[in-house]
Amino acid sequence: MKELRYTLLSDGSSDKALLPLLSWLLKVHLVDYAIQPQWANLRGLPKLPKKLSFAERIKLSVDLYPCELLFVHRDAEREPRQKRVEEIRQAKEEAGESVEVPAICVVPVRMTEAWLLFDEVALRRAAANPRGKKSLQLPDLTKLEDEPDPKRLLYNLLLEASGLGSHRRKKLRVEELVHRVAEFIDDFASLRAMPAFKALEDELKQVIQQQGWCL
């Protein structure tokens, strides 16, 4: 079996939750490959300048985490998705020929948490209450990109899914459960209803074809 290593360069450590999603996408389109994910943890490296440019972060990610494919994440937040895509592509160009691997833009609208708000079973399992009966009001995926604060919505759903009383909820480190949600999702196909996710998958399919990985 052939192997494909990919590296994810993300805005922050919480965005490591994208790794299961990206691995799923690659396995869907490269069924004959063993997928090896890596997260570029640049903040934990000693003796680095406190402030790196975006292009320097891209170059360093590939230098320290060698791969055949680089995913570069930026949350759209309050900006149009296309603006973030252009920022990523410009930084990749500024990184120069030292970054030879293809780079794919990962730009959730508005933020990573928006892509974890569709699987009720995963939410309950992440909250350590898989048999909970309390109704969870999951958003309509086709309207989720208009949600102003997906992170707060996800946190609130995890608190509800936990089934804990108000006192015990205060002790729950809900931000640490986000990674567990992603890990418990077996199928991300529902996200194809969201334009930003579809754009990611379309770009990935294009790169796979260009690289001849599907042959």
The answer to whether the pTM exceeds 0.75 is yes
3-class secondary-structure state, position 32: coil
- Tell me the per-residue pLDDT of 90-99, one tens digit each, with 9 for 90 and over: 999 999 888 9
The 33-39 sheet, strands edge to edge: 33-39, 2-9, 69-73, 103-106
What is the rounded average pLDDT of the residues 106-114? 95
In this predicted structure, what is the pLDDT of residue 80? 93
What is the rounded average pLDDT of the residues 99-120? 95
In this predicted structure, what is the pLDDT of residue 1? 82
| pLDDT interval class at 51 (50, 70, 90) | confident
Residue intervals of the chain classified under CATH 3.40.50 are 2-109+194-211
Give the rounded percent of residues in the chain with a pLDDT score beyond 90: 79
| pLDDT interval class at 158 (50, 70, 90) | very high
In this predicted structure, what is the pLDDT of residue 101? 96
Chain centroid to CA 77: 14
The two beta strands, 69-73 and 103-106, are parallel
Encode burial over 126-153: b for 16+ CB neighbours within 10 A, e otherwise.
bbebeebeeeeeebebeebbebeebbeb
Residue 150, pLDDT > 70, answer yes
- Compute the distance between CA of residue 77 and CA of residue 150 in angstroms, rounded to an integer: 10
Please tell me the class of the 2-109+194-211 domain.
alpha beta
